[in-house]
Structure 1
């Protein structure tokens, strides 16, 4: 049996919503708290409280920070982004995913409950008296801390993949190396706790496979330190590239970069709720109040692996008058449209003409876009469509340290066993070029390291 977690993002997703929903589902908050406190964090306390959002009961995350978390607290329920040189964000439908390369700190002590604006309309209601540094951490530093921690290996792997997904998007948006990205919202301690806490909750619940519904992002514009930005935020949309979106027309940010990063890094399928019995559900609340319940729902599903299959569509077209350049460009467009795979097969057509059979594999939610790309970018007059089912193995990425540098390895798991594994080609090729050696030598080194170190623990 495999344990499948389904994120039902009908109102969007943020890091704190995901963590509180998993705790509501049954994840042990004591286990999460103890594991997090083994990390080099400032003193904090983590709790959940029950709230009601438009008639729907849900758990809401409460984080407290300070030298004495019982006395000096910062409640994890802010809804703001200050436009004075930094984004003091707490991942509640507003962690806008922008980065800077500077460090600063400020002290403040105040007791208030009011509405105010710093070039960005927001509500802000909390009591706190604390003295802390808003440290803008580098992605490489966060990942290093996780890698050197005593967290379970699968928690490390999943957490690192989330941070990498966000760092890659941030780097692309700002023209930086992902390792050099300085985060505001993800660098904030509460967002780090959200991400690692989610991965700890998944581990505690023994989740093997993660799936998700299409993702609503919200719409409109929001004021940030860099100016007036669109919703979804650039980093959020970059992370969600290739993931089906849900057109839920709400004038607000519904999905944050952290929430998007969790889905991008961990979910292996996006679509409707699987046709399988649901064991139980959990609900995690966001901070904002709308006319709809601002809640993330998670569903736990037990599935027999022998019965687990995924629906895909297969598109085909035969071409005898399309140039190689046109087909190469068509493949690029098809992958951009969300194709799982595209391949060409040499065939003989009518009148004994040599031709090419184009085959496109797609999830149902991307099929129409792929079909349109195939008709538009090739010379075919028609496309055949058929529905297939397939069984896929759980995928996992591990980092392997070799004498040629760190190489990512993709593993395929079935239950508790690694079935296949292979180095990431781009990492291996980069190492081979840097050291002037054959790529096979890099592959051999990775294989040797895999045999020496336990990379087979889920």
Structure 2
């Protein structure tokens, strides 16, 4: 299970978050490909290396359509190359996301961020969340920021998100309705329940988009969780302060024992009154909530009634959420859990070239040795469909190409585990 820790040393904004995730290794082409499939204005996006008080960071540059200037309010921690202003209702944005071809978890996370911001804006302006007009967050560049962040999380396979307390900045700023205090009213509403950090800097450090990301996606706030740091990325803001104006993102994983052992919960429930469709839906919700594996076993219950045993393998961080799914989505009156130890192999992904295009393969590794590997189904299916080659033939080509690559002496130490 991969986790993300957002170290908000200089607040948080949408573009800073996306840049930090790209610095962590999120694939910019993957993000752009999905964004360009949405009914939004044409855009160009690139990443520049910058220096912020001695820290090398990535800066997101985004240009929308042919009109690079707009009156969108920008934070001191964000970008100042303004773009065309665009007004959209919250309901329209969420409807666009839900009707898109985005990955399911990207849809859920993106919609959750916009729903959180809409709720805060609605309270401030005295309207329902659905009727909120996003004067700032509804602009094309902020839609791209928010959905782009969720795509980056998906590309990095992030399951859990943690964050530090967040500074807001001090002073006042000019907005469409006049001079407003920092944090802006909607930002302050979003930050209810989120611990703040003291930082004496004049200007807005945390934006509504940044606060919405924290509100909707972060599981827990505080210091670094007891996980293993794999990589660190930095996303830069525009303004220069006496401190580094960056958001630090840490990619983390649970630390297994030296022999590959780790603990995991086994959660079970027995049912005799659910349809196959309902069981399938429950499985989807469990995986979205962080389950490592889910499977069903046919059983006979009391009075010889045929039933189903649901078994869920759950890491500690996702235990509560998965149990809540079982209690909410099934007719069970309770769940039981046991804690097990398991021994696992390290895993890595590697992209290999086939005659019909690239395919990712998953490798099972012990030490420096690849014990076995398998092509990723989605990549094989996509390449087979695009090329017109039968799935089985495409699968065997990927297996052959992967074996040749590994036998040629590819060093597993260089792979991203």
Name the TM-score, length of structure 2 as normaliser.
0.62
1:327-366 equivalences in 2 (<5 Å): none
Q: Provide the rounded CA distance (Å) in 2 between the counterparts of 1:42 and 1:236.
A: 26
CA displacement at 1:307 relative to structure 2? 6.5
Corresponding position of 1:219: 170
Contact 1:91 1:185 in 2 (8 A): no
Contact 1:139 1:181 in 2 (8 A): yes
Distance 1:215 1:424, change over 3 A: farther
Corresponding position of 1:434: none
Contact 1:214 1:245 in 2 (8 A): yes
Distance 1:274 1:133, change over 3 A: closer
Match 1:264 to one of 204, 215, 227 = 215
Is 1:139 the counterpart of 2:16? The answer is no
Is 1:170 the counterpart of 2:154? The answer is no
Contact 1:412 1:420 in 2 (8 A): no
Structure 1 residues 56-113: Cα deviation after superposition (integer angstroms, max 9, x where no partner): 11000011222xxxxx4638xxxxxx8xxxx523566369xxxxxxxxxxxxxxxxxx
Q: Provide the rounded CA distance (Å) in 1 between the counterparts of 2:130 and 2:77.
A: 25
Q: Provide the rounded CA distance (Å) in 2 between the counterparts of 1:284 and 1:173.
A: 30
Q: Provide the rounded CA distance (Å) in 2 between the counterparts of 1:13 and 1:170.
A: 18
Corresponding position of 1:35: 34
Corresponding position of 2:206: 255
Distance 1:37 1:220, change over 3 A: same
Corresponding position of 1:413: 290
Match 1:234 to one of 160, 164, 185 = 185
Contact 2:170 2:201 in 1 (8 A): yes
Contact 2:73 2:175 in 1 (8 A): no
Distance 1:424 1:161, change over 3 A: farther
Match 2:228 to one of 277, 293, 296 = 277
1:9-20 equivalences in 2 (<5 Å): 9-20=8-19
CA displacement at 1:169 relative to structure 2? 0.4
Corresponding position of 2:77: 93
Q: Unmatched 5+ residue regions in structure 1?
A: 67-71, 76-81, 96-123, 310-389, 391-408, 426-441, 445-458
CA displacement at 1:133 relative to structure 2? 5.7
Corresponding position of 1:454: none
> Partner of 2:60: helix, strand, or coil?
strand
Distance 1:307 1:241, change over 3 A: farther
Distance 1:308 1:192, change over 3 A: farther
Corresponding position of 2:140: 189
> Partner of 1:215: helix, strand, or coil?
coil
CA displacement at 1:244 relative to structure 2? 0.5
> Partner of 1:160: helix, strand, or coil?
helix
Corresponding position of 2:305: none
The root-mean-square deviation of aligned C-alpha atoms, in Å, is: 3.2
Structure 1 residues 152-198: Cα deviation after superposition (integer angstroms, max 9, x where no partner): 00000000000001000001111110000001111110000000000
1:361-440 equivalences in 2 (<5 Å): 412-417=289-294, 419-421=322-324
Q: Provide the rounded CA distance (Å) in 2 between the counterparts of 1:412 and 1:22.
A: 21
